[in-house]
Structure 1
Amino acid sequence: MMKIVVDAGHGFETEGKRTPDGMREYEFNREVARIAKAELQQYKNVEVYFTHADERDVPLSIRTDRANQLKADVFVSIHANAFGSGGWNQASGIETYVHPTASAKNVELAKAVQKRLVTLTGRRDRGIKTANFHVLRETTMPTLLTECGFMTNQEEATLLQTSAYRKKCAQAIVSGLVTFYKLMKKTSNANEQGLYKVQIGAFSKKENAEKLAEVLEKDGYSTFIHFKS
């Protein structure tokens, strides 16, 4: 079973983490995480865990400790970027971070996710970057941190507040994971092998059950009578 940790960065009340017009970063992060989890649950042998909570800004050490205790296979932290002192500016685009000591596998995973984010959103590709962020440094599994657009860029801030853009970002992250780890979608019940049985009656008297079975058999149906006390 593959364990995937999806981490919505920060919390509702994290100071300074909002657009100049008031959208909290966590609003974006948590919704992308929610959609990504729902998408990932459509794949075989996958378990998805959250390390964040709506009630409070979960400390970073608790987030990474939980992922390590789970022995997760991958950790993805979702964020929106910012630049400058809080007003609008022209910084834009998407970038994905890994730790400076990240393995080659970790870097390739980040590249797969970054590529899908840029392709699906159409935003500027700022590439793969390294940083000594806590979640990148203290996790024991491949870890990446996505910055899905700038809250301080007016155009991107508008996008970050839309359901359509949030869904694109979630789908892109999932697509990168699916491609890299070669995940397979669950089969629907319609494709499963087996028989579906239909019960059309239940009677307290055996003779009534026998009468219905007789009628059905005359119409070409195979029947059997099962008694349950």
Structure 2
Amino acid sequence: MDVGEHAPHLERRRRCGRRRQLLPRRGLVPPSLHRSVPTGRETAVLAVRRGQPGRRRLDAFSWYKANWATTPTLHITSRRWTRRTDAHTELKVYSNADEVTATLNGTPLGTLRSGDRIFRWTDVTLRAGENTVAVTATINGSTHTDTVVWTLAADTAPATPNRVGLPCRGGHHHTHGSSTLIKVGPPDGAGHCPPGSSTRSRAVG
């Protein structure tokens, strides 16, 4: 047999065998986790063991699960963003339920239906301190609930409106260039603005 014409094939086999010997020792991806794609190129498949301690599933995992899994899914997104700096926010939920009901601090936010497995409540206003957000849905005859707690800093809470629906404006303002900074404060317990403040609108700029 002419070895010369088979030399390239023998060389490839020798290199593949050498690679299989080195992979386990170096802790690289073992050959069993490689699969062939239609292009003929071998691509490594990374496997993540379930239940690994310290691993947190991202929001994208719940979105895929809501679209393709048959198990009930009800997930509030941005759940790890617990310290909030903006009182106005959006509540977004991934679920494979037909409809989802949401509450904020026990107050109903409404029930929504969605065709893309994404449920959005766009006009949500948090109060200073802790805010409990809960969503409920019925999937396959069973009721499921997901709850998160978001904390809003007191200095970022929105101003309390008075009886006419406007925040009280302080009696002092500062002008810097073409902009006017107006001091805004809450009314008293009876809904009246304290002395030295006003609710009349004024052009700024």
Question: Which TM class, normalised by the smaller chain length?
Answer: under 0.3
Greater share of helix residues, 1 or 2?
1
> Larger radius of gyration, structure 1 or 2?
2
TM score, norm. by length of structure 2: 0.26
Greater relative contact order (CA < 8 Å, ≥ 6 in sequence)? 1
Q: What TM-score results when the alignment is normalised by the length of structure 1? A: 0.24
